[in-house]
Structure 1
Amino acid sequence: MGSAGLARLHGLFAAYKPPGLKWKHLRDTVELQLLKGLNAGKPPASEQRVRFLLGPMEGSEEKELTLTATSVPTLTDHPLVCGPAFTSLKVGVGHRLDAQASGVLADHPLAFLDHVTREKLERILALIQGSHQKALVMYSNLDLQTQEAYEMAVRGLIRPMNKSPMLITGIRCLHFAPPEFLLEVQCMHETQKQLRRLVHEIGLELKTTAVCSQVRRTRDGFFTLDDALLRTQWDLHSIQDAIQAAAPRVATELERSLRPGLGTQQLPGPDQPQDSKGPSSALLLESCAGH
């Protein structure tokens, strides 16, 4: 394996973070499994050196000794002498999830009020999305007086140019079964704490209380749940295969981002389906509402 295997690790891949697992533990586990896989490969052939070994002279009846030139392996680079070939490996992590995200369910019994309806909830969600789209225009530093900026705004192809607070590009209710409801949120620059607070604020707007019981990221950029490696797949060969499979899409996204006017997030309307492409995250929020 050696350097060839290391070269195949240059790229991006996705891993599924189980509930209750800290992202640092996931990263450390992946690093350990990669090092094990790299060091488990067959080591390269040792270099040969010439040594003069003392031995009996052939055809001599008096058993005379002589020095014979012999090729022997050099053991200075053998793993049993110098240790493992790979001792450290850096794995970077993109958008992080806290330990409670992705499947931690906090039971919280609440009585549901009759005045909370799906229509009222969706009206609040539309107002939230509209306000965040206005903020997105502001943080994009676009002059909407220009024709190019106007066309980008009409098509929804704008995104913040610099650091910004959490911006929601799409939010909708997928499931409404009082006292629980499920939201799909497309957003940028988010944290799980902000998302949970969003659910709390939605409850206040509905004249009730709401608590976020589960956060699950379903997409990060173009990576989806289908791309994410499970815990049993956090090994060298699976990660190498995932990097190779993602390489064409990574190249395409880089090319799009370098084109003028492209590489930006499309903003779906309240009644439009969510676009699966773009730089933002898509998360599912399971919530409970009550009095």
Structure 2
Amino acid sequence: MELIFLGTGAGIPSPERNVTAVALALNEERGTFWLFDCGEATQHQIMRSPLKLSRLEYIFITHLHGDHIYGLPGLLSSRSYHGGTTPLTIFGPAGLARFIETSLQVSGSHLDYELRIEELQEGVIFEDEQFTISCARLEHRIDSYGYRIVEHDLPGRLDRDRLIADGILPGPIYQQIKLSKEPIAYEGRLLDPKRYVGPDIPGRKLAILGDTRPAPNALQLAQTVDVLVHEATFAEAEAELARRYYHTTTRQAAEIAAQAGAGELILTHFSSRYNREDLAWLIQEASRYHKPVYAAYDGYQHPIPRK
């Protein structure tokens, strides 16, 4: 599992930063990647990354401002040309379906795959055997959402040496023991999986939030996550400007991470007034209130290992 930042700027692109898009690469977990927001030229950024557009599985849109959605029509069309034939589902606020359907219809675009669009209701929006994803509304000029991604716990390590010592030879029974929580009948005896399987491996948790002022739901989504991705459009000294435009400062993002008991904080969505050289002092500002802090830049890759 790895985060790849494709665009880290706010509002408009700059020579150093494209507008917002973050990929969650799940190569080992599913052989796919998920995309959070899709600003203009996101498909170009994907071509400069290790990602393959054909492996895009889900898109999660935080809100409908142009710097978060204007890359969708081109990316959806190009996916067909890159060999994308598997279904693709897009989650986002009300109005997203109209935007996408109108763009594709007017441009005469043809997709070689099934496109599904799910407009958001707060709460759990996706769940399978690996992940649960929920969303909640934040505080911005238009409806803006944050996402919480929770990986399910994995079964612990199987103690093969103990199994063999107890006369249980390798075979399908090993998988049954690893996955079961109840005793298993084997050759006239009951095997207790707890004797042979270590503690569950905790799943990873992360939160990726859209544009927002500091908001109660941001704190809720970020509770005890391993990684929090939070906008920091402005430096600490620009708190009034951030409030006026419904954004967050470096300090405010760090305070949310600290109050939520989050692990790593990754700042992104920087105003074009800040350049690459400014990232060090933006990190320094936030680090007074929470650690560790990272400042994303276009192309930044951030692994999220299992504990």
Q: Which category describes the TM-score, using the shorter chain as reference length?
A: under 0.3
Judging by fraction of residues, say which structure has more helix. Answer: 1
Q: Over alpha carbons, which structure has the higher Rg?
A: 1
- What is the TM-score of this pair, normalised by structure 2? 0.21
User: Quick one: higher RCO (CA 8 Å, sep 6+), 1 or 2?
Assistant: 1
- What is the TM-score of this pair, normalised by structure 1? 0.22
